[in-house]
Chains A and B, each alone.
Chain A
């Protein structure tokens, strides 16, 4: 192992050791430059993040000043008249994400429990690998599959069937377009499942073995062990995993834009077309012709940023509470 780590280091000559190796001040020019570069990088990252917030705030100021809180609760989106209410997008984002959670959470938690606790050990690596590959599929590819496979399936099979059986509910009324909130929710569910599954799995794996052993020692079956010892202990982490999935769903753009129908209206039915905050940005940003229009769109971007940051922040706290921090770089 030590040999491995030294593999790239090189020989003593490469390192150009100074002739006298003892008792010199190490704050030479090289060090100062180095420290300078490091601090510059750190501050650059902070500046970029700060700049992002500033730029969004600045651009959206005109809309914030004109509409105030009305922006969040009116659903009149009229570029011609200069009236902008973002309720349909907020509604669409929330509904599609919640629908996605409803579908994804049972499946993801089930799969995570399976992988962490109940599966035979030869099954775990390949299945875990497949799930991680699912997370790597680009959004536009999901959208492509959505348009040509999922939507026709919904339009020709699922929606008519739902209308026949559950059509008395306002949730399933209206013509079966195929395109719409249901399609968006389904695609989002498929997209967030790998995230919730892998983080939940890690949370479950982080639960100390002693908990399981105690339960088993008392005569619990495998499921009972899982339920009593592991799930209860890791509960907050699992909630965190779910919130991480929510965070992803809220910000998802391309796949949703391709199947949601692009209609800025609040409708109760899942069959109806809708619009999300990310989709309206993707569709209308390059062509908003008036300053107020651009400002309103940037304000939506700012809202999206604030909401996803809050959800993700909360999620991380919860996940860390089980496994400890420094789990960076991935989900």
Chain B
């Protein structure tokens, strides 16, 4: 046996390249990477889509929106995903024109870990000051004023933010910039910012994990992450003055204003949206795909999936507390998907 030991690694490699358990014929593998924000719904979609088109597998790695932007720019993946829209500068750096295709809408919530799990309410100003390090204790008078009936301990607020490049961060700081001029000046907006205070967690998962494990922490995560981990989601005061809970309805309401004036490239911010019932920290999330696809069969599979995602796929988001796309937006996206080409020819046959 030891005489021909090299047979073993060669055999393993042969198995690896030729045979795969469970599949008779080759499936095409589409690789995507990016935002952790929509990861729950994307992983559900990609699992469901296997039934629709068994020939394709979508492998999605949630490495953060920053990673999604970087990897699609370098073309190491077939599609990217981000909830912070790419800046003009980033788009210019890409080797070819990139489309932002909205897929769902979600809400970024303030989640926390306090004994007794009280339902808290915040204003944007209070949140900005907490994240600036100006409010340090849970029983600060300003928090108490918003939550008169809650028992707030005399404990330091453990702020948790993202340590990786994140669209969720972008949505959060975009909101804080609109609320607090001091935040806009001191920190600014981006997928990765210089946080005045706090611990860093990797991915929405990391932040949720941190908040869950450490009493007294306050972090921001996408709604699905709070709910599936039985973490509370705070109510936030919107520009209309109402304390709104993050739900599918309030997220959809946030998009109402933007829908009327949707830009052609879909790069729009929904934070601090007008509307009596709008939740102020909502956002679209986008898939980043090249207008001109480098590979025909992959391009075809991609547009087929995108078409499914914005139509039949929209049945699934609600169960995971994402808001489905508004109908007028879907029409606009249809037109955009039809513009995706391979060698100049549109990939989507008339459907």
Contact = CB atoms under 8 A, between A and B. Distances in A.
Q: State if A and B touch, Cβ cutoff 8 Å.
A: yes
Contacts of A213: none
A287 B66 contact: yes
A234 interface: no
A92 interface: no
Contacts of A283: 163-164, 200, 202
A80 B200 contact: no
B200 A263 contact: yes
Interface in A258-303: 261-264, 273, 283-284, 286-290
Contacts of A179: 199, 210, 214
A257 B202 CA distance: 10
A227 interface: no
A81 interface: yes
A79 interface: yes
A179 B158 CA distance: 11
Given A177-B214, A179-B199, A289 B189 contact: no
B106 interface: no
A80 B188 contact: yes
A9 to B, nearest CB: 11
Given A8-B3, A79-B192, A273-B200, A287 B164 contact: yes
A264 B195 CA distance: 9
B191 interface: yes
Given A76-B194, A79-B192, A284-B165, A289 B90 contact: yes
Contacts of A80: 188-190, 192-194
A22 to B, nearest CB: 31
Given A80-B194, A177-B199, A273-B199, A262 B71 contact: no
Interface residues of B, number: 37
Contacts of B67: 286-287
B190 A287 contact: no
B69 A287 contact: yes
B164 A289 contact: no
A235 interface: no
B213 interface: yes
A284 B194 contact: no
A147 B114 CA distance: 20
B274 interface: no
B188 A289 contact: no
Contacts of B64: 287
A51 interface: no
Interface of A: 8, 76-81, 147, 151-152, 155, 175, 177-179, 257, 261-264, 273, 283-284, 286-290
